[in-house]
Structure 1
Amino acid sequence: MKKIITLIILSVIVFSCTKTSEATAKPDAPPKTLVTVAFPSDTVQLNNIITLNATSTYLLKSDVKANSTGYITKMTIKLADHVGKGSVLFGLQTKEARALGNTINQLDKSFRFNGATTVTSPATGFVAMLNHQIGDYVQDGEVLATITDASSFGFVVDVPYEYLQTIKNKGSLPITLPDNTILQGKIAKVMPAVDAVSQTVKVLLQVSNNNIPENLIGTISFSKTSAYGLSVPKMAVVSDEIQSSFWVMKLINDTTAIKTAIKKGIETDQYIQIKSGDLTTKDRVIISGNFGLNDTATVKIQKP
């Protein structure tokens, strides 16, 4: 009886070891990463768009100066008023003329002497600054106000020198304001100097609508280059930490993706041109779930 019990125990032990060996010999299948795929295209037009900031400004501001020493007796303007060239802005009367005029008028009112002079606007524009008010005593040549010259208004763009000729060839550029209003800016002036640090040139774009506040920042965009060629969605391209090498994950079947090195060309908001790499329009590339995948990764295509 003891022999039979011993035999049964040994059989159970052997059977358990066999099952353990089979479980060890068959490891779990690697997990599959859910991905979405797309096909490269050779019909997309790739435009290398350059966007620069444009700041509204008045290149010329004229100072309104007192033409004699005396008191301000009249002022016809307020801050931000629009004035025309030659319009009267201030009235002045000298201290001596005021005293002498009062004496003479008391003796003979027919003289009507007051010794008053007027100060006119040197340009058409807006009153940007007021330094005095009625009753102030001012010196000859003292600045009374500042007038912006409307003819010098425009948007100034700091253009990298490498793009200057491209800008000149266009002649005019659309300016997009923060409220999405678009103005057509005509290239009026190119400053004859380059910034020593940024290597940019200031370009003035004049616009027809000058009811725009100064220092408003808009943007201009223009195409540097345009080309057709094999391209992939931007999300398909992966790079290393220092962006020295680039690749896409290409499917060789429905469950396996391999790492395919590429060389980038023109890049837009949506597509990247493939200048070299083992890709055709018939290949499938991963556009989501590709980050961090190793070469020969096991994947599962997610249905749209």
Structure 2
Amino acid sequence: MKQLFYLISVSILTFSCKNTTAPGETKPAANPKTEVAVAYPSDTIQLHNEVTLNAAATYLLKSDAKANSTGYITSMNVRPGDRISRGSVLFGLQTKEARALGNTINTLDKSFRFNGTTTVVSPATGYVVMLNHQIGDYVQDGEILATVTDASSFGFVVDVPYEYLQLIKNQNSLSVKLPDGNSLPAKIAKVMPSVDPVSQTVKVLLHVPGSSRIPENLIGTVTFSKTTAYGLSVPKMAILSDETQSSFWVMKMTNDTTAVKIPVVKGAETDKYIQIKSGNLTAKDRVIISGNFGLSDTATVKIKNP
């Protein structure tokens, strides 16, 4: 009986030693690790701080085709939107007297050769943008019959802030990017000698070769470099800031699992990179470019497999 009691006591003691976790307690979980992607800063990228301005297609000059006598329109050879050449016949006119007399004079004297008709020709090469009359209308001498754009005056007008005027004039090459993604080479044709009193901008006309099919009032963009920066730069996604965007920092990896907060001062930036003017960074450091939002200083992270 004593031996049985001894064996039961030893068994209970052994089971109690193995089960050291108190009821209701759980084992401590491992610290969670945020998955991040990293990249190296670069000291070989040239950052161009660019200015983008809107450019509107326009015809600076429009010419009017006017009646050269008082009478009736007997023929019309154009329609709105037609492209015509300088000197093309647009309208035929018959004077009021000719219509009243008819062929009476020619019947009396055939050598007189009176018909009382005249023609109105195009004053410029371009497109017909407005027709004011139709066949049969009675018009006065000097009355505007049609308006024709002057193709030689076509260009893109850019409202350039005065502080950028010299910059755009110094550009060796410019291009106008159209809404469909195409780009056209352009050069400065004229700089208007006045400044808008409100916006303090100067109108600059850009000549674009081979632009005969571009419609008026189409809006494109012109981009040129304001400054060029050299030095250490990081991907734009690596830069973090506070709510007021008054201070900036990056998260730098000190080893494979720890990221620390490094304050930086920004310089020039593009759509992909930002220059680092100052900060404890080198081209050999790794900075976090994904998963860095909300990380605290000395955060525990896990680098994603590439």
TM-score exceeds 0.5: yes
Instruction: Tell me the secondary structure at the aligned position of residue 119 of structure 1.
Output: strand
Does the 8 Å contact 2:229/2:275 carry over to 1? no
After TM superposition, give the deviation of residue 245 of structure 1 in Å: 1.8
Q: Which residue of 1 aligns with 2:38?
A: 37
After TM superposition, give the deviation of residue 171 of structure 1 in Å: 5.1
The yes-or-no answer on 1:149 pairing with 2:150 is yes
Q: How does 1:175-194 map to 2 (within 5 A)?
A: 175-194=176-195
Q: What is the one-letter code of the residue matched to 2:270?
A: T
Q: Which residue of 2 aligns with 1:95?
A: 96
Which stretch shows the higher mean deviation, 258-267 or 240-249? Answer: 240-249
Q: Which residue of 2 aligns with 1:229?
A: 231
5+ residue gaps, structure 1: none
After TM superposition, give the deviation of residue 89 of structure 1 in Å: 1.8
Q: In the aligned structure 1, how far is the partner of 2:199 from the partner of 2:254?
A: 47
Q: In the aligned structure 1, how far is the partner of 2:23 from the partner of 2:298?
A: 29
Task: Provide the TM-score with structure 1 as the length reference.
Answer: 0.87
After TM superposition, give the deviation of residue 17 of structure 1 in Å: 11
Instruction: Tell me the secondary structure at the aligned position of residue 89 of structure 1.
Output: strand
**Cα deviations by residue, 1:187-240 (Å, 9 ceiling, x for unpaired):** 011122333343322211112213222222222222221121011111111122
**Number of matched pairs:** 298
2:266 to 245, 264, 267: 264
Does the 8 Å contact 1:101/1:113 carry over to 2? no
Does the 8 Å contact 1:172/1:187 carry over to 2? no
Q: Which residue of 2 aligns with 1:248?
A: 250
RMSD of aligned alpha carbons: 2.8
5+ residue gaps, structure 2: none
Relative to structure 1, the CA distance from residue 143 to residue 20 in structure 2 (aligned partners, 3 Å threshold; closer, same or farther) is farther
Does the 8 Å contact 2:171/2:224 carry over to 1? no
Instruction: Tell me the secondary structure at the aligned position of residue 152 of structure 2.
Output: helix
Does the 8 Å contact 1:150/1:210 carry over to 2? no
Q: In the aligned structure 2, how far is the partner of 1:282 from the partner of 1:176?
A: 38
Q: Which residue of 1 aligns with 2:72?
A: 71
The yes-or-no answer on 1:302 pairing with 2:304 is yes
Q: In the aligned structure 2, how far is the partner of 1:138 from the partner of 1:243?
A: 67
Q: In the aligned structure 2, how far is the partner of 1:75 from the partner of 1:175?
A: 38
**Cα deviations by residue, 1:80-104 (Å, 9 ceiling, x for unpaired):** 2222323332221222331034443
Relative to structure 1, the CA distance from residue 242 to residue 208 in structure 2 (aligned partners, 3 Å threshold; closer, same or farther) is same
User: Identity over the aligned pairs, expressed in percent?
Assistant: 72
Q: In the aligned structure 2, how far is the partner of 1:66 from the partner of 1:262?
A: 72
After TM superposition, give the deviation of residue 27 of structure 1 in Å: 4.2
Q: In the aligned structure 1, how far is the partner of 2:46 from the partner of 2:260?
A: 28
Q: Which residue of 1 aligns with 2:135?
A: 134
Instruction: Tell me the secondary structure at the aligned position of residue 146 of structure 1.
Output: strand
Relative to structure 1, the CA distance from residue 257 to residue 197 in structure 2 (aligned partners, 3 Å threshold; closer, same or farther) is farther
After TM superposition, give the deviation of residue 29 of structure 1 in Å: 3.2
Q: In the aligned structure 2, how far is the partner of 1:20 from the partner of 1:223?
A: 70
Q: In the aligned structure 2, how far is the partner of 1:78 from the partner of 1:171?
A: 41
Q: Which residue of 1 aligns with 2:52?
A: 51
Which stretch shows the higher mean deviation, 95-104 or 125-134? Answer: 95-104
